[in-house]
Amino acid sequence: MKVVITGGAGFIGFRLVKRLLEVGELTGPDGNKQAIDAVTLFDVCEPLDQPQKEGVTIKAVTGDISNGATVRDLIDRDDISVFHLASVVSGGGEKDFDLAMRVNLDGGRHIMEAVRARAGQPRLVIASSIATFGGMHMTNIVGDMTKQTPQTTYGITKAISELLINDYTRKGFLDGRSARLPTVIIRPGKPNAAASSFASAVFREPLTGVDYIVPVPETTPMPILGYRAIVEGLIHLHELHSDQLGDDRGVGLPSHTVTAGDMIQAVTSFDSNRRLGKITVQPDPFIVDIVKTWPPDAEWHRAQSLSFPVDGGLNEIIGNFIEDYLDA
């Protein structure tokens, strides 16, 4: 079978393809395990690296996801599964409404329509976000049964995509699943335009000897999960039998709720024998105004009942990051 990953040059997309090549197979549209023989990584830019595996054709394709013809060319087989991760992130979406709508909403529709055009009911996993929650009536602890009233353009596009996945699946057009992600840490490389980017930078920069200014108060809470568990969760969601999800195809992935102060404490006390960069706190009103619209805590009873993987928390996540990116 073929696997298409949009956002394939990104952090999670790249780790996902590496893990899929290790696994070697997924459940196909016919309900049976099928060997992965082709992978397409689609993004606006080329990946910095491209995994290789004997017997698997791996191709990187660049293009604009808001172009329907481009997307249809990607999804060119019936024995296919798609992981749709491409997105304009939170901070970028607030600064450019039209771009967020074109990429997140129109691009998502193009993916769904291209999968719909294939025979059978191929599985489509999309990455949603905890940013779908918000508003004046948001409870302190959100979960799969909480009403979604997002307060960012990014969150709006994700909430709409979740509803579309439900309806495309109800109609029998495809077998869709939405993974509602907490903040993913620790991202390597340079900060991106996500308002949550600080949640990775507060670890990444000090661990590489770079000073860092945290743009939110230390009391700021945030549900987080490490990247290894995120990747395993995406694959686990793909592999669930459709009946286990029913008519609500969205699942909030497991998370740990920590504050910015907890993050600072974890990295400064971690025994890594590294010279740490200095950490200071200086709230940025633009970032603070976005982050305060997000839920401070989350429950994940449904994910637990469906046996989703979860990591051990901040110390384990820091150790994984050092192993994968600093010592590698």
The closest alpha carbon to 28, from 113, 124, 161, 127, belongs to: 124
* CATH number for the domain formed by residue range(s) 2-182+226-254+298-312: 3.40.50.720
Do 253 and 236 form a contact (C-beta atoms < 8 A)? no
Do 138 and 96 form a contact (C-beta atoms < 8 A)? no
Q: 3-state SS of 178-204?
A: EEEECEEECCCCCCCCCHHHHHHHHHH
Is the C-alpha dihedral spanning 258, 264, 269, 274 positive or negative? positive
pLDDT at 194: 78
154 flagged as catalytic: yes
pLDDT at 283: 96
Cα separation, 81 vs 27, whole angstroms: 9
Do 281 and 213 form a contact (C-beta atoms < 8 A)? yes
Helices 314-321 and 198-207, axial angle in degrees (round to 10): 60
Cα separation, 132 vs 153, whole angstroms: 10
Cα separation, 75 vs 3, whole angstroms: 9
pLDDT at 233: 98
Is the C-alpha dihedral spanning 243, 301, 128, 318 positive or negative? negative
Do 133 and 150 form a contact (C-beta atoms < 8 A)? yes
pLDDT at 193: 72
The token pair that represents 203 in the structure block: 């670890």
Write down the pTM of the prediction: 0.95
Cα separation, 78 vs 62, whole angstroms: 22
pLDDT at 255: 97
Cα separation, 8 vs 90, whole angstroms: 19
Residues composing the chain? 328
Regions of the chain where pLDDT drops below 50: none
Phi/psi at 8 (5° precision): -70, -15
* 202-253 pLDDT, tens digit each: 999 999 999 999 999 999 999 999 999 999 999 999 999 999 999 999 999 9
Among 154, 168, 212, 227, the one annotated catalytic: 154
Name the burial class of residue 35, with classes exposed (0-12), middle (13-18) and buried (19+) by CB atoms within 10 angstroms of its CB. exposed
52-78 burial code (b ≥16 CB/10 A, e <16): ebeebebeebeeebbebebbeebbeee
* 297-313 pLDDT, tens digit each: 999 999 999 999 999 99
Domain map (residue ranges) of the chain: 2-182+226-254+298-312
* 35-50 pLDDT, tens digit each: 999 999 999 999 988 8
pLDDT at 128: 98
The runs of H, that is alpha helices, within the chain are: 11-23, 68-74, 90-95, 97-100, 107-116, 153-170, 198-207, 227-239, 242-245, 260-269, 285-291, 301-305, 314-321
pLDDT at 27: 98
Cα separation, 328 vs 324, whole angstroms: 5
Helix then strand then coil, in percent of the chain rounded to 5, is 40, 20, 40
